[in-house]
Amino acid sequence: MAQAVSVYSNGGNLVKAEPLFSPTGAPILKADGSQMLAPAGFNLTSFAATVPSELQMKDFGTGGPADIQRTYPDAINPGTVSAFVMDFRPVASFALGWVAASNDVSLNFTIAMGGAVNIKNSLNNKKIEFSPSLSDLGNGPGNAENIRAGYAAKLAANPIPVYQDISGGSEIGVMRVVVGYTGYTGKDTGWTTPAERGPGPGVNPALPSDFLSRIANYWELRRQLT
């Protein structure tokens, strides 16, 4: 059983938390090597099962049912700014990546939508910060990195089969067999091999062709409002 700790919400309320572990019991670490904290009783597998398979990004938005930072079990005024717990920000991004990989949603799409939510929120909150890396697509500092980590961790837990067509002779025909397994590299460059991903829902939406121009328009609007 994880050792319970206490953290504070923006409203100054004590919130029960505990170190985050993977389903196999391995500690899940932040980039600085310290272990992520999650709301007391939080479980990645159970959490992923509660999110619709279509992965509605609004569920992860401010105050949504999957907004771990503001809708934890003992939150006072859940979903509000006062309920926000900064210590839960890493696990919120990690869990988003984990759920996206669980539902076969592309990593880049997930990062882009996380950035879009951050940019939208910044229009009404000038304290919101952004990663200096353009590849993070508008996410807050460390958020895209944690999304990638959660995505890669889920794929490592459930490797993707690599298929190859092999002739079985005139009576059998071509057989499709599994010749190995692969997974995501954790980088934006893509999969470790160009092999087919195999059976699955195939939900892998591409970014809109005008996505970058939308980002630029958000930034210009934000500049005008500051």
- pLDDT for the residue 201: 32
Task: State the pLDDT confidence band at 9, using cuts at 50, 70 and 90.
Answer: very high
83: tokens are 């309920």
Q: What percent of the chain has pLDDT over 70?
A: 65
Distance CA 106, CA 113 (A): 11
With a cut of 60, say whether residue 186 has pLDDT above it. Answer: no
- pLDDT for the residue 166: 56
What number is the average pLDDT over the span 14-33?
88
With a cut of 90, say whether residue 48 has pLDDT above it. Answer: no
Distance CA 157, CA 36 (A): 18
Q: Which residues contact 24 (CB under 8 A, 6 or more apart)?
A: 157
Of residues 187 and 128, more confidently modeled: 128
Computed over every residue of the chain, the mean pLDDT equals 74
- pLDDT for the residue 53: 57
Domain ranges of the chain: 5-158+195-225
Q: Taking the model in full, what pTM does it have?
A: 0.69
**What are the tens digits of pLDDT across the range 135-184?**
888 888 888 989 999 988 888 776 555 555 555 455 445 455 555 545 44
124: tokens are 């009404």
Q: What percent of the chain has pLDDT over 90?
A: 20
Q: Which residues contact 74 (CB under 8 A, 6 or more apart)?
A: 15, 16, 39, 40
Distance CA 40, CA 18 (A): 5
Distance CA 148, CA 96 (A): 9
Task: State the pLDDT confidence band at 95, using cuts at 50, 70 and 90.
Answer: very high
- pLDDT for the residue 215: 59
What number is the average pLDDT over the span 87-95?
93
With a cut of 70, say whether residue 17 has pLDDT above it. Answer: yes
Distance CA 79, CA 71 (A): 5
Least confident of 9-13, 115-119, 169-173, 199-203: 199-203
Q: Which of 108, 129, 107 is nearest to 118 (CA)?
A: 129
Q: For residues 15 and 73, is the Cβ–Cβ distance under 8 A?
A: no
Distance CA 167, CA 157 (A): 31
